[in-house]
Structure formats: structure tokens, C-alpha cells
Amino acid sequence: MVKIAAIGECMIELSPRSGGLLAMSYGGDTLNTAVYLCRLGAAADYVTALGDDPYSDRMIAAWQAEGVGTKRVIRRPGRLPGLYIIEIDQSGERRFHYWRQTAPARDLFAIPETRTIVAALAAYDYIYLSGISLSLYGEAGRTQLFGALDAARRRGCKVVFDANYRPRNWPDVKAARAAVAQMMPRTDFALTGLEDEQALFGDENAIATIQRLRRAGVREVVVKEATAGCRLLVEGEIVLIPAERVARVVDTTAAGDSFNAAYLAARISGADPAEAARAGHRLAAEVIQHPGAIIPRDSMPDSLVGGSPPLRRFKG
């Protein structure tokens, strides 16, 4: 079976409920993608660092219940995971407020266990990470990470990246732009958002983003647009794959994360890029009709590719 490593940070999530209450769960962009990958039949491990506290214990138990592998989770004594609160406006768009500066995930590539993590990454078929992942580690940590990605790619691993730019996570846009630019030559699949690419690089439109990333050497590029859908190369031509229509958007949290999971799952199982994009839209359309990042299991779509049963078989 194909093995996928998702690198990043999971935090305690507090999201609004009626009466001014907050519900507690756990979330993080790459963790969300790992969960949805496992629900679609993939074998995904999460690569991060947590504390030795009860909240970290609950996170690991929740990931294991979803089938996410936890053997690459480093536990740091005396540390606590990060926390964020979501605010959602009337259109379903969200804002995040973070408390994460001392989260152990930020030390993943600057601790004695880093060597073990770097060696382990070379054994995976796919590595998935995001711009949020890059923002965690600082320049020295990113150097370690980039070296690990280079070593893994030399052994045939494919790297999947979503720019997922969050300005508050970076000292300034120049630092973020430089880190993402360093990431591009190490990327095989770019599953990115137009708004993020415009904020970072000033691209006029999705076509400009695709052309720029292809020049940087990225083999496969998908650019997600806020409402229209996504654009990608199909047989040398840039095409638009429309998004699924949704009667009411409740919460857009994890829309892109779930799209990426379904897209990657479909591609690994043999779907072409257009089919994979439609699968991504189907899952994202369901996700944004529920509060929070991870929807109930019984709300997962019955089919994602061409009306076929849920994706279960993976090449490899």
C-alpha cells in the first residue's frame, strides 16, 4: 500500500456554538488532510511533535480512531499543544486567533529526534505539507526539512504542497515568499489556492500561477479559486473544473484541506487530474456544509469519482 506522511501541527480548536458557547476539538490543515485521506482508504501517518499532557493524549487517541498513524509523533515533556479560536461570519468565512508560540510542533526539526524523523521520511511514497508547515520551523528548521525532502525525492518519493499562506504566521510577506519559493523546486504536486498565490507573488490569475509553478519545475499544478472551482493542466491545456453547488455554506474551514485529500486519493488510485479535481470538489462541498474541520463519518459522500464507490484501493 502507498504510504503518505503529512507534516505539520495539530492544535486545540475552539469553535462557536449557539448561546455564545465554544466547542472543543482538534485541527490543523495537514492533519485535516491526513484524516480525510485515511477515511478514503489511504495509509497516512502524521509527523509532528506534541506535549505529554492530557490534551496531547486525546489528540493521539482521536487520530488513531480515524486510522491516522502516530508512530512519527514526538512527545515533548512539559509542553502543551497550540490553541486557536475560530470566528465565522454570516457567509461562512472564518477568522483564526492563535496561541501557539511555544507549541512543541515548532521544534520538530530542531531537537535530538530530528535525525530519526528525517531518516523516516525517506521511506514514504508521498509527503504532504503546506505553507503553514513551513512557517513553523524558522530558517534553520526549514533547512533540515528541505534536506529531508531532497533525500526522500531521490528515493522516488513525491512531494505534495499547498502554499496555504497565513500572514500572521510569518515575520512578513518577504519571508513567506522566500520560503515558498525554496519549496517549489522540491514540489511534485502543487495543490494551492489562488488567493494565497496572489498574496505571496502577485499573480494576476490562476493561469499565471500555473505557468509560474510549471516554470519552477512543478509537475502537476491545481489552483483552487474561491467560488469558481479550480484550474489545472489537462493534456497541455489549462481548464476550469467547476465547484459543486451548495445550497448553504455553514463553515469553510478545511475546504481546501479536504479537496487536497480527495484529489490526492483519486490520483493515487488511478484517476486522471480532472476526475481527481471533481472528487476534491465533491468532498469539499460536503465539508463546508458542517461546522468545524472534520465532518461526521456518516456525512462523508457515498462516491467521489464518476459515481463509483468510495475510493479504497491504492496502487503500490
Return d(Cα 238, Cα 177) in angstroms, integer.
25
Please say whether the beta carbons of 56 and 78 come within 8 A.
Answer: no
Return d(Cα 169, Cα 178) in angstroms, integer.
14
257 included as an active-site residue: yes
Choosing from 257, 272, 298, 302, the catalytic residue is 257
Question: How far, in whole angstroms, is CA 194 from its chain's centroid?
Answer: 15
Please say whether the beta carbons of 244 and 277 come within 8 A.
Answer: no
DSSP letter string over 146-175? HHHHHHHHHTT-EEEEE----GGGSS-HHH
Say how many C-beta atoms besides its own lie within 10 A of residue 251's C-beta.
21
Return d(Cα 118, Cα 64) in angstroms, integer.
22
Residue type, position 252, single letter = T
What are the grid coordinates assigned to 242, written together?
467547476
Please say whether the beta carbons of 163 and 197 come within 8 A.
Answer: yes
162: Cβ contacts below 8 Å, ≥ 6 apart:
29, 130, 131, 190, 191, 192, 193, 256, 260
Residue type, position 186, single letter = R
State the catalytic residues: 257
